[in-house]
Structure 1
Amino acid sequence: MIETDVLVIGAGPAGSTAAKHAALGGAQVIIIDKKSEIGTPKRCAEGVSKEGLSKLGIELSPRWITREATGVRMVSPNGTAVNLTEDKVKLPEAGYILERKVFDKHMAMDAARAGAQIMVKTLATGMRREGDEVVVTAENMGQELEIKAKIVIAADGPESRVGRWAGLKTSSAPKNMESCAQFEMVGVEMAEPNCIEFHFGSAAPGGYAWIFPKGDDIANVGLGILTTRTDKTAYQHLLEFVESNPATKNAQPVELNVGGDPVGGLLNKKVADNVLVTGDAASMVNPLTGGGIISGMLGGRIAGQVAAQSVDDGDYSHKNLKVYDKLCEEELGESFKKYLKAKEYLLSLSDEELDEIADVFKDSDFETINTKEMVRKLIKISPKALLKLGKLF
């Protein structure tokens, strides 16, 4: 039996951030991950905002930044492009394209430097209560082991098993879980190599397609769909997108990633006795963009801090931990509700309506525009925008 104050299950960015801040708060911390190499395989397009990294106090390193993205290129179904640059518009996901295989290790190393112990190739297989603590059973290199902890932080990804073991509802309805597929490709010929691209419409039903540059002719090319809106798989839609898009028709894949992305907004309940759920496991993903690295790390930081305080208090009950729900709502919840409304509006638009909006926006002067201005412009074009967005901004 191994004993610790805080056990973090999952060493993605959210889990490592939670482990780091729990350790900085004075707790004894163990972080386990089922993979033999932290950061592989990657599960996202690898974009993060400059503002988010700054807020988290993360020092930039050329080891894990592949490209600085200075703008966003939004493309409608007929190919009409709207270009926005960061000096004109606040762009929530623009900033840097990471190499997640390096970045995730970097964050785990940060946790280790703060005092956390890391155990790789360690799969959590069950959880039970013993007194006022919990015991997690795990398998490490074919060997069974048990870890007793005062607090368990579940950072084990979408539809968290650990959260379910604690009695929390962590599963997502099909309409709130995007199915995603992505290639990393070489030979990509982007129209704007320093911009991240979003492609909207029927190419990716219920979501969008993306092209995120990683330097030279390399890019992440992927899409997310809602299975409730198409009979095809995400992979089939990806193949069609790659074949038809001018930037990728001559490119070659060197890596394929698939997975789910929870886009329904924060889980209402992320706390049970002895347990906190964070990151993708708590659906800490921007419902509009599907981006979850920064928001997951912000949630992870709160989880680590709350866990350390709980250990200091000697009280690991739901009642003492529920401040975590409140703090996460303040940090992420309100903005997520707005993004969810914006997503619902976009999903209500036909390809023709998206083309019409892009046609108006492409020649607009964005020198001084902000979110409110963009919504006002949308309302002039589309009555649906007034209905869905008019009261938000």
Structure 2
Amino acid sequence: MLETDVLVIGAGPAGSMAAKHAAMGGAKVLLVDKKSEIGAPKRCAEGVSKDGLKRLGITPDPRWITTEINSVRLVSPNGTDVLLDEEKVKLSEVGYVLERKVFDKHIAMDAARAGAQIMVKTLATGIERTNNHLIVTLEHMEHPFQVQAKIVIGADGPESRVGRWAGLKTGAKPGTMESCAQFEMVGVDMKKSNCIELRFGSAAPGGYAWIFPKGDDVANVGLGVLTPRTDKTAYQHLLEFVDTCPATQKAQPVELNVGGDPVGGLYKDLVTDNVLITGDAAGMVNPLDGGGIISGMTGGLIAGEIAAKAISNRNYSKKNLKEYQKRCQKEIGDSFKKYLKAKEYLLSLSDEELDSIADAFQNSDFDRISPTDLVKMLVKVSPKAMLKLGKLF
């Protein structure tokens, strides 16, 4: 049986950040991932903000940046578009389109350099509690073994089992898990090579469609839908979208990614005795735009710091770990509550109402652009939004 202070399950960006900061805090750390290659397959559109990376202390590296973004195009159902350009507007929530297969390894390598041990192709299959420790059963290359850990950090994605094993009430509620499908495509005809394009309306019921450029004529083209709002799969909606979108009608897919995106906000319970959950496993996904890389890494950083502190204090109780819950709520959860209200409002709009809002946006002046700024402008141009959201923003 192996022994460690902190076992992190899942080596995505959130898990690797947790492992890195736990190790930096002096804890003995083991980071495991069920995949044979960290970062593959990718599960998102790969966009991150410059400000977010800066807050996390991560220096941009050309090895994992495919495109630097300088504008965003918002497109309504009838094709009306609103272009938000960095020359006129501060784009605080966009910055780079990543190559996740490189980026995720980069963050995991940072964890290793900080002192964490890494094991790939290692699947966690169960957790048992014994005295003041946890015994975790795993399989490495189909060979079972056990790890005794003082703290386990679950960063095992939206299908997380760690939280459930620990008795936490995790998992997305009905109607809060978007089903997503995405192609990486070549031959995409983009109006601007450094512009993210977001398309709203019935093409993606309950969500939106996106085009994230990755250099030359390559782009991530995908969408997310809420299954209660459609009788089609996300993949079927994606096929229809690429057939009808002017930018993708002549493009060809070279990769397909599918998965779930929990957009119901931060989960209520993130800790129990000896256990923390973080990243997608904790619902750290912006309900409004579906982005979760920066927020998940923020949660991972906090989890690592709190775990190292608990190891130093030799106190792994739920009461002692509650500081993690409080910090996550303040730094992530409070804003997510507002974004969830904004999303509920947007879901109530018809295609015609979205078109009229796009018309109003074309005549509006923006100083900066972020989810909060967009909603504030929405409140200004839409009487209905004023009634629903005015007090929140």
Same topology, TM > 0.5: yes
Give the alignment's TM-score, normalised by structure 2: 0.97
In structure 1, distance between residues paired with 2:15 and 2:30: 11
Contact preservation (8 Å) 1:174, 1:226: no
Greater mean deviation of Cα atoms: 177-186 or 357-366: 357-366
* Corresponding residue pairs, total: 393
Q: Does 1:58 align with 2:53?
A: no
In structure 1, distance between residues paired with 2:250 and 2:43: 24
Give runs of aligned pairs for residues 152-167 of structure 1, distance below 5 A: 152-167=152-167
Match of 2:348 in 1: 348
Q: Does 1:261 align with 2:265?
A: no
Please report how far the alpha carbon of residue 301 of structure 1 lies from its aligned counterpart in structure 2 after TM superposition: 0.2
Evaluate the alpha carbon distance shift between residue 284 and residue 229 of structure 1 in structure 2; reply closer, same or farther with a 3 A threshold.
same
After TM superposition, the runs of 4+ consecutive aligned structure 1 residues lying more than 6 A away are: 368-373
Contact preservation (8 Å) 2:51, 2:93: no
Match of 2:123 in 1: 123
Letter in 2 for 1:29: V
Please report how far the alpha carbon of residue 365 of structure 1 lies from its aligned counterpart in structure 2 after TM superposition: 3.2
Please report how far the alpha carbon of residue 90 of structure 1 lies from its aligned counterpart in structure 2 after TM superposition: 4.4
In structure 2, distance between residues paired with 1:164 and 1:391: 36
Match of 1:224 in 2: 224
In structure 1, distance between residues paired with 2:11 and 2:50: 22
Contact preservation (8 Å) 1:159, 1:172: no
Q: CA RMSD in A?
A: 1.5
Contact preservation (8 Å) 1:180, 1:224: yes
Contact preservation (8 Å) 1:263, 1:283: yes
The DSSP-based 3-state class of the residue aligned with 1:175 is coil
Cα-to-partner distance string for 1:232-260 (whole Å, 9 max, x where unaligned) = 00000000000000000000000000000
Cα-to-partner distance string for 1:286-325 (whole Å, 9 max, x where unaligned) = 1101000000000000000000000001010101101110
Greater mean deviation of Cα atoms: 165-174 or 149-158: 165-174
Match of 2:32 in 1: 32
Cα-to-partner distance string for 1:144-195 (whole Å, 9 max, x where unaligned) = 1000000000000014101100001111122110000000000000122211
Give the alignment's TM-score, normalised by structure 1: 0.97
Cα-to-partner distance string for 1:193-241 (whole Å, 9 max, x where unaligned) = 2111110000000000000000000000000000010000000000000
Greater mean deviation of Cα atoms: 223-232 or 364-373: 364-373
Greater mean deviation of Cα atoms: 185-194 or 30-39: 185-194
Please report how far the alpha carbon of residue 92 of structure 1 lies from its aligned counterpart in structure 2 after TM superposition: 4.9
Letter in 1 for 2:344: E
In structure 2, distance between residues paired with 1:41 and 1:254: 13
Letter in 2 for 1:209: A
Q: Does 1:97 align with 2:100?
A: no
Match of 2:21 in 1: 21
The DSSP-based 3-state class of the residue aligned with 1:174 is coil
In the alignment, structure 2 segments of 5+ residues that lack a partner are none
Cα-to-partner distance string for 1:24-60 (whole Å, 9 max, x where unaligned) = 0000000000000000000000000000000000011
Match of 2:297 in 1: 297
Evaluate the alpha carbon distance shift between residue 390 and residue 254 of structure 1 in structure 2; reply closer, same or farther with a 3 A threshold.
same
Match of 2:310 in 1: 310
Give runs of aligned pairs for residues 1-393 of structure 1, distance below 5 A: 1-366=1-366, 375=375, 377-379=377-379, 381-393=381-393
Letter in 2 for 1:177: M
In structure 1, distance between residues paired with 2:7 and 2:312: 15
Letter in 2 for 1:290: G
In structure 2, distance between residues paired with 1:306 and 1:378: 38
Contact preservation (8 Å) 2:199, 2:208: yes
Letter in 2 for 1:210: W
Contact preservation (8 Å) 2:4, 2:30: yes
Evaluate the alpha carbon distance shift between residue 255 and residue 370 of structure 1 in structure 2; reply closer, same or farther with a 3 A threshold.
closer
Please report how far the alpha carbon of residue 375 of structure 1 lies from its aligned counterpart in structure 2 after TM superposition: 4.8
Please report how far the alpha carbon of residue 363 of structure 1 lies from its aligned counterpart in structure 2 after TM superposition: 3.4
Percentage identity across paired residues of the two chains: 73
Please report how far the alpha carbon of residue 88 of structure 1 lies from its aligned counterpart in structure 2 after TM superposition: 3.8
Contact preservation (8 Å) 1:86, 1:94: no
Evaluate the alpha carbon distance shift between residue 216 and residue 146 of structure 1 in structure 2; reply closer, same or farther with a 3 A threshold.
same
The DSSP-based 3-state class of the residue aligned with 2:197 is strand
In structure 1, distance between residues paired with 2:117 and 2:388: 47
Contact preservation (8 Å) 2:73, 2:84: yes
In structure 1, distance between residues paired with 2:62 and 2:255: 22
In structure 1, distance between residues paired with 2:134 and 2:299: 22
Evaluate the alpha carbon distance shift between residue 368 and residue 330 of structure 1 in structure 2; reply closer, same or farther with a 3 A threshold.
closer
Cα-to-partner distance string for 1:315-351 (whole Å, 9 max, x where unaligned) = 1010110111000011111111111111111111100
The DSSP-based 3-state class of the residue aligned with 1:343 is helix
The DSSP-based 3-state class of the residue aligned with 1:260 is strand
In structure 2, distance between residues paired with 1:58 and 1:379: 34
Please report how far the alpha carbon of residue 366 of structure 1 lies from its aligned counterpart in structure 2 after TM superposition: 3.0
Contact preservation (8 Å) 2:70, 2:91: no
In the alignment, structure 1 segments of 5+ residues that lack a partner are none
Evaluate the alpha carbon distance shift between residue 127 and residue 299 of structure 1 in structure 2; reply closer, same or farther with a 3 A threshold.
same
Contact preservation (8 Å) 1:47, 1:93: no
